[in-house]
Amino acid sequence: MIRLALVGLGKIARDQHLPAIAKTEGIELVAIASRNATLEGVPHFASLDELLASGVAVDAVALCTPPQVRREQATLALSHGKHVLLEKPPGATVSELAPLVAAADASGRTLFATWHSRFAPAVEPARAFLAEHAPRAVTVEWKEDVRVWHPGQDWIFEPGGLGVFDPGINALSILTHILPAPFFLTKATLGFPANRDAPIEATLDFADNAGVPIRAELDFLQTGPQTWDIHVETAAGRLTLSLGGSKLFLDGTSLIEAPEAEYPGIYKHFVDLVARGASDVDLAPLQHVADAFLLGRRIVVAPFEG
């Protein structure tokens, strides 16, 4: 049984991690480290340092803190011999992950950079379909309301917080998993609120070596129904992953419609990785975001008040 400490008890931890941990065999929650929140019946510590110094028996930590502080926390946990699960995005930069991978390998511990959207029920079937039916064009619409999903969380618009790429990277994590060929950024436009340091909207154009066009439209100000759709044109028809990968359609005909199971999936995978003594750190989605910041044309849009 893996004794897990949850570091950071914000909205994502309460909404997703806690229920998933409770449903997963082979892992149990034994401690919380959070500056501002507690959980009844679970030992609480104000910081990861305090937890690690307490003597409470912990085998692994799940880091649900903002990405700007994850590198330091993961380094500390690995140095104390703990397995580490990283919420997405795994860090604020691409380069900070390689030393963590090396530290995990050197200590014989598991490092898992989670991409929860890859565990949505329609993702693997979509990948299998596209392995047999080559994509001709791809369109991504990933639009949600930051005020609903990140209420009062100013860190998301600070450097390293990724802004609209915090949800947008979920789409990229699916694309890098289901498309049969690697792709690269060709053009990007990023809309930065006049009073913020991260984008609130983005349009991205990609292509693969065969010239297949891929366009992604990201928006953090969509009100009403939220949109998390990926459309892929193929010779066999139009394949659509809808609602973040929970539904799959071919030319409008439903192929898969299943309840959300993403976070139970990541914890099941984490338990398996620990049992095998393996790590899983795919940096491709984060690399595409870094490329967008490097190549993208920045425009100033209206100030955002959360």
Comparing C-alpha atoms, which of 141, 92, 95, 90 is closest to residue 116? 90
Cα 141 from Cα 169, distance rounded (Å):
12
Cα 247 from Cα 281, distance rounded (Å):
26
Q: Evaluate whether 283 touches 96 at the Cβ level (below 8 Å).
A: no
Catalytic residue among 11, 23, 88, 187: 88
Q: Is residue 88 flagged as an active site residue? A: yes
CB count within 10 Å of CB 23 equals: 13
Cα 279 from Cα 286, distance rounded (Å):
17
Comparing C-alpha atoms, which of 159, 138, 162 is closest to residue 150? 162
Largest distance between two CA atoms of the chain = 60
Catalytic site residues?
88
